[in-house]
């Protein structure tokens, strides 16, 4: 079964290199991706997050880029800035493309006037589903491997630690290819 999967993925990548119709990305394409969330309950302050990402394809399958996250929950304000490398390794039909992504970020959190900084890294999975040649719905699943360092404290997590369903911790967004 593993060899059949490897053969299928390899055949799809060869098609992609030859410019077949089922290849969503090509070298020098650019992407703009992001998520926005807002939660407001009665008698509470709104919780919001904006997460823009911009990337550049160095090959038909590999993109590098920058990401940011701005957010606020009650009295906690968060600003994250990071970089990522993304590899598309499998096409499912002509519209769905699965990727793995390695990301590193510098994080700043202010909680009731106290500022903390940390560094995080993660390796996770995601997918894009193209609804038009330039527009895709995007989904990122929880990281398979993650590392966080804040001062003298560090945490390494392997697997979906504490997550009974990885799809409940995923994020959904929109990707625009240009």
Average pLDDT, the chain: 80
In angstroms, the first-to-last Cα distance of the chain is 36
Q: Is 166 helix (H, G, I), strand (E, B) or coil?
A: helix
Residue 80's closest CA among 121, 39, 22, 40?
121
Instruction: Report pTM.
Output: 0.75
Measure Cα distances from 71 to 2, 112, 115 in Å.
42, 15, 14
Q: With 60 as the cut, is the pLDDT of residue 11 above it?
A: no
**Predicted confidence (pLDDT) per residue in 65-89, tens digit:** 999 999 988 788 999 999 999 999 9
How many angstroms separate the CA atoms of 33 and 152, rounded? 33
Q: What is the pLDDT of residue 172?
A: 84
Look-up of token digits 């491997």: 145
* 131-141 residue pLDDT tens: 988 899 998 87
SS3 for 21?
Answer: coil
For the segment 38-43, the average pLDDT, to the nearest whole number, is: 77
Residue 91 CA to residue 5 CA, distance in Å, equals 11
Task: Give the span between the Cα atoms of 37 and 128, in whole angstroms.
Answer: 19
Could you give all domains of the chain from N- to C-terminal order, each with its CATH number?
A: 2-177 (2.40.160.20)
């Amino acid at each position: 079964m593993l060899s059949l999967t490897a053969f299928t993925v390899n055949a799809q990548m060869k098609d992609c290199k030859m410019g077949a119709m089922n290849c969503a990305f090509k070298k020098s394409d650019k992407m703009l991706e992001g998520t926005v969330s807002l939660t407001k309950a009665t008698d509470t302050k709104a919780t919001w997050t904006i997460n823009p990402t911009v990337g550049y394809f160095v090959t038909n399958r590999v993109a590098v880029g920058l990401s940011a996250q701005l957010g606020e929950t009650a009295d906690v304000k968060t600003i994250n800035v990071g970089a990522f490398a993304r590899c598309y390794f499998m096409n499912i039909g002509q519209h769905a493309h699965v990727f793995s992504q390695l990301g590193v970020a510098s994080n700043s959190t202010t909680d009731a006037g106290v500022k903390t900084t940390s560094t995080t890294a993660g390796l996770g999975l995601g997918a894009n589903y193209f609804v038009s040649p330039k527009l895709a719905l995007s989904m990122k699943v929880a990281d398979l491997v993650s590392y966080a360092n804040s001062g003298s404290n560090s945490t390494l997590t392997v697997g979906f630690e504490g997550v009974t369903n990885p799809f409940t911790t995923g994020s959904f967004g929109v990707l625009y290819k240009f």
